[in-house]
Structures are given as structure tokens and as C-alpha cells.
Amino acid sequence: MFFDTIRANDINKYIGSPDTMIIDLRGEQEYKQGHIPTAINIPYEELENLRNNLQYGKLLIFYCERGNVSLLAARDLMKLGYSIKSLYGGIRTYRGKLERN
């Protein structure tokens, strides 16, 4: 079993896809300051407790600030049977418009 990493310019094809969940693993404040469109916030520290919110049938794309945390999360959930991709380099590499809330 393995998971893929994707480049920042490739994430645009997944934004808004009904078969994909984009998950921001940063803290709530960082998420509110700007996140990839359609991403939901599940801080890495809460991922274990909120794992029931994730759907096995969907592709999960994780990202964090620089990419290290999302790699850890991807590795852990891939072992549980989830379909995972990790954003290489994290949100720092993303050049698209950010949503704020």
C-alpha cells in the first residue's frame, strides 16, 4: 500500500469534486486566515478523534503548512484503507485564490 503526493497546481482539478475531500490539517486559526477552496479543517491533533467524519469511498487530499504533517497523516490513514493523496510542499506551494472564514 502506498499513497501519492500531488503538486499544488494539480489540486485545482480536485476542488469541488463530489468524490474528493480536501482536508486542511493546520490549526483552526491558520485555516480561517486562508485555505484551499472547499477544504475542511481537521487539525492533525484531532484527526484520530474525528476520523469518523471521513468517508472510505472518497479520495482524501491532506495538506498542512509545509507538507510534513500531511505525509504523516496520509501514511497513518492509508494503513486503515483510506484512499489518500498528500499535497507536496503544503499550502506554501499553492498559488491559487484562498478562501477565508
Catalytic pick among 8, 42, 64, 69: 64
Whether 87 sits among the annotated catalytic residues: the reply is no
Comparing CA positions, the residue from 49, 40, 46, 53 lying closest to residue 82 is 53
Per the listing, cell 485555516 goes with 31
Give CA–CA dist 31/77, Å, rounded.
Answer: 21
Active site residues: 64
